[in-house]
């Protein structure tokens, strides 16, 4: 088995970093400026995945042609700026023809497997084009089909990677190529044991990069996006938000899980497991620096950041029968598990449970996860109340449970707002609560002013 012996950086570029020719050109600068970068993982060009998801849902003729034209226009605009578009036009046209056929099939009978097959074309096209952008600049770059090594379950739309298979396949098929040239591959897509195309869930390219970094024992994973790092909160909500230069894995993982859009929530799992630092920066302005996510930071602050996740659904379950109270929770959870629902936050009293649903990584929002089958099953056990349009705010920090005065500082600020549920105590890295969606931004602004400015 070939082991990679030189320092390997895996660099991932998100949709905005490969949105058009100029963005690809800037991303090429970033790749070529660091000779340790051996493997490049790409998203689809911005907007393409959304168009493909719409096509996969099954559109009627007129709408379908509009979306297909829009995809073609994005890819052709890049193709036409290459010095020799002919070399790759045939390949792109073949993929666009495939798309037309798949979109027709989806209009007749959409399915999760078909969706993944269709949606994978975004990454296939962006990666083919990026290879040519690099070659135009004299770089030696090879295209690699990530599906050859990213072995996953067949849970289409949200497939789970098989870490051991990936490690073995990456060492066999990818490592030897890395020694020869720069390799350009796709994020987000994989394949099951039968060779059918799968995807890791929306935004999954970050996760691919981290998994490949782990499989290849990379020394760093760079995530290039359109913001120069991780901020104390979303700067669009709070302009005074500050960039965090270094942050520990646990804190960054909490931020991603609780809605900070910078990293896909699963990204840090492989990084933590294998202790690989993750750098986050902007491909628009690589020199502006970014955030390094690593094992430890010096002087971790009590309050680190605020994350906001919208569109939360709260389920409150009241046991119908006191006799059921023994084993009530167990029964609730087995129903949820049978319905493939992952619970996010939970608070309980003896015969009541309040919980929110975990929608991270899937294309669904909380309300679409709540199928009528699930509600019927739950209703046989308990009275079910559903509240929608809540927002989850998470205060991320360190030793939050051990420090005194956290409650007073936080809830003092929140006094005028209507708080629906609080989770505090399970993790020393977060304190989170639900507020009405319409008040969320105000709450974040007020908390940021009081705790971070
Ligand atoms: N292109 C996919 C998406 O838009 C994956 C990614 O960009 O990470 O969700
Ligand atoms: Mg993305």
The SS3 of residue 84 is: coil
Q: How confident is the model at residue 363 (pLDDT cuts 50, 70, 90)?
A: very low
The encoded tokens of residue 366 equal: 């909380």
pLDDT of residue 323: 61
For 192-241, the pLDDT digits (tens) are 999 999 999 999 999 999 999 999 999 999 999 999 999 999 999 999 99
Give the phi and the psi of residue 239 in degrees, each rounded to 5: -60, -25
Spatial contact of 41 and 185, defined as CB atoms under 8 Å apart? yes
Atom of ligand 1 nearest to the CA of 203: 8
Asked if pLDDT for residue 44 goes beyond 60, the answer is yes
CA of 416 to the centre of ligand 1 (A): 38
What is the predicted pLDDT for the residue at 32? 97
Query: What is the predicted pLDDT for the residue at 341?
Result: 85
Centre of ligand 2 from the C-alpha of residue 44, in Å: 8
Whether 9-226 shares its CATH topology with 304-451 is answered: no
Looking at the predicted structure, is the pLDDT value of residue 370 above 50? yes
For residue 299, the 8-state DSSP code is: S
What SS3 string covers 193-251? CCCCEEECCCCCHHHHHHHHHHHCCCCEEEEEECCCCEECCCCCCCCCCCEECEEEHHH
Which of the listed residues 14, 44, 221 should we mutate to test ligand 1's pocket, taking the one with most ligand atoms within 8 A of CB? 44
Atom number in ligand 1 closest to CA 122: 1
Residue 201 near residue 161, CB atoms below 8 Å? no
For the CA of 202, the closest atom of ligand 1 is 9
> Of 262, 300, 268, whose CA–CA distance to 282 is shortest?
262
* Paired tokens of 124: 């296939």
pLDDT in tens, 401-438: 888 888 888 988 888 899 989 988 888 899 999 999 99
Is pLDDT at 367 greater than 80 in this prediction? no
Tell me the CA–centroid distance for residue 53 and ligand 2, in Å: 14
Residue 187 in tokens: 């994020």
Quote the pLDDT of residue 409: 87
Chain segment 24-34, per-residue pLDDT in tens: 999 999 999 99
pLDDT of residue 322: 64
Q: From atom 5 of ligand 1, which residue's Cα is the shortest distance away?
A: 203
Q: What confidence score (pLDDT) does residue 351 get? A: 80
| Percent over 90 (pLDDT), the chain | 78
Rounded Cα gap, residues 228 and 290, in angstroms? 5
Does ligand 1 lie within 6 Å of residue 44's CB atom?
Answer: yes
Q: Which fold has domain 304-451?
A: VC0802-like (3.30.2130)
Lowest-confidence range among 98-107, 213-222, 291-300, 415-424? 415-424
Answer whether 38 contacts ligand 1 (Cβ < 6 A): no
Long-range pairs for 400-404 at CB < 8 Å and ≥24 separation? 400/302, 400/424, 400/427, 400/428, 400/429, 400/430, 400/431, 401/425, 401/427, 401/428, 402/428, 403/302
**Ligand 1 proximity of 157 Cβ (cutoff 6 Å):** no
* Helix 48-56 × helix 112-136 angle, to 10°: 150
Tell me, in angstroms, the distance from the centre of ligand 1 to residue 203's CA: 4
Q: Enter the tokens of residue 198.
A: 């799968």
Q: Residue range 160-174: average pLDDT?
A: 97
Give the dihedral sign, CA 237/240/245/249.
Answer: negative
Ligand 1: residue whose CA is nearest its atom 8: 203
Mean pLDDT of 283-308: 94
List the chain domain ranges. 9-226, 304-451
Position with higher pLDDT, 166 vs 1: 166
- pLDDT of 352: 87
Could you tell me if the CB of 210 is within 6 A of ligand 1?
Answer: no
In angstroms, the Cα distances linking 162 to 39, 117, 198, 257, 369 are 20, 19, 12, 21, 25
**Which numbered atom of ligand 1 lies nearest the CA of 15?**
7
Which residues crowd ion ligand 2, with CB under 5 Å? Answer: 14-15, 43, 203
Residue-wise pLDDT for 307-354, tens only, equals 999 989 999 999 877 665 678 888 899 999 998 888 889 998 878 899
Residues 421, 324: Cα–Cα separation, whole Å: 24
CA of 388 to the centre of ligand 2 (A): 26
Q: Tens digits of per-residue pLDDT, 243-269?
A: 999 999 999 998 888 877 788 889 999
Which pLDDT does position 368 carry in this prediction?
Answer: 63
Type and span of the H or E element at 175: helix 175-178
Tell me the torsion sign for CA atoms 332, 338, 340, 342: positive
- Give the Cα separation of 49 and 15 in Å (integer): 9
pLDDT, position 2: 47
Fold category of 9-226 in CATH: Carbamate kinase (3.40.1160)
Place of tokens 């320092």: 7
Which one, of 297, 305, 285, 288, lies nearest residue 246 by Cα?
297
Residue with the smallest CA separation from ligand 1 atom 6 is 203
User: Residue 366: which pLDDT band, with cuts at 50, 70 and 90?
Assistant: low
CB-CB contact of 337 with 134 (8 Å):
no
Task: Report residue 394's pLDDT band, with 50, 70 and 90 as the boundaries.
Answer: very high
């Amino acid at each position: 088995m070939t082991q990679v012996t030189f320092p390997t950086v895996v660099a991932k570029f998100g949709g905005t970093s490969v949105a058009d020719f100029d963005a690809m050109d800037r991303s090429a600068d970033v790749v070529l400026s660091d000779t340790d970068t051996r493997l490049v993982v790409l998203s689809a060009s911005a907007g393409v995945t959304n168009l493909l998801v719409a096509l996969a849902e099954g559109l009627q003729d007129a709408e379908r042609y509009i979306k297909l034209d829009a995809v073609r226009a994005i890819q052709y605009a890049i193709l036409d700026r290459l010095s020799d578009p002919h070399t790759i036009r045939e390949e792109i046209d073949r993929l666009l023809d495939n798309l037309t056929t798949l979109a027709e099939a989806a209009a007749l009978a959409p399915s999760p497997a078909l969706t993944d097959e269709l949606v994978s074309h975004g990454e296939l096209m962006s990666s083919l084009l990026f290879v040519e952008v690099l070659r135009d600049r004299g770089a030696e770059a090879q295209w690699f089909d990530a599906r050859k090594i990213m072995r996953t379950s067949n849970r289409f739309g949200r497939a789970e990677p098989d870490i051991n298979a990936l490690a073995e396949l990456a060492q066999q098929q990818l490592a030897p190529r890395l020694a020869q040239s720069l390799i350009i591959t796709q994020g987000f897509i994989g394949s099951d044991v039968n060779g059918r195309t799968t995807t890791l869930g929306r935004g999954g390219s970050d996760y691919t990069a981290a998994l490949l970094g782990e499989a290849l024992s990379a020394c760093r994973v760079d995530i290039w996006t359109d913001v120069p790092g991780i901020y104390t909160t979303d700067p669009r909500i709070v302009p005074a938000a500050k960039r965090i230069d270094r942050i520990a894995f646990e804190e960054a993982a909490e931020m991603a899980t609780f809605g900070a859009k910078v990293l896909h929530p699963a990204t840090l799992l492989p990084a933590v497991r294998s202790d690989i630092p993750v750098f986050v920066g902007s491909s628009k302005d690589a020199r502006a620096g970014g955030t390094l996510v690593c094992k430890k930071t010096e002087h971790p602050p009590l309050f680190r950041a605020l994350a906001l996740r919208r569109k939360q659904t709260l389920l409150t379950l009241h046991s119908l029968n006191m006799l059921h109270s023994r084993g009530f929770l167990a029964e609730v959870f087995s129903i949820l598990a049978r319905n493939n629902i992952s619970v996010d936050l939970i608070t309980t009293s003896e015969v009541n449970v309040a919980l929110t649903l975990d929608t991270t990584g899937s294309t669904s929002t909380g309300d679409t996860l709540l199928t009528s089958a699930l509600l019927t099953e739950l209703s046989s056990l308990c009275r079910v109340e559903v509240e929608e349009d809540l927002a989850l705010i998470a205060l991320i920090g360190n030793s939050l449970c051990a420090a005194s005065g956290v409650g007073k500082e936080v809830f003092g600020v929140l006094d005028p707002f209507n708080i629906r549920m609080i989770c505090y105590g399970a993790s020393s890295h977060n304190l989170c609560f639900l507020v009405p969606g319409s008040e969320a931004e105000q709450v974040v602004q007020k908390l940021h002013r009081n705790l971070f400015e």
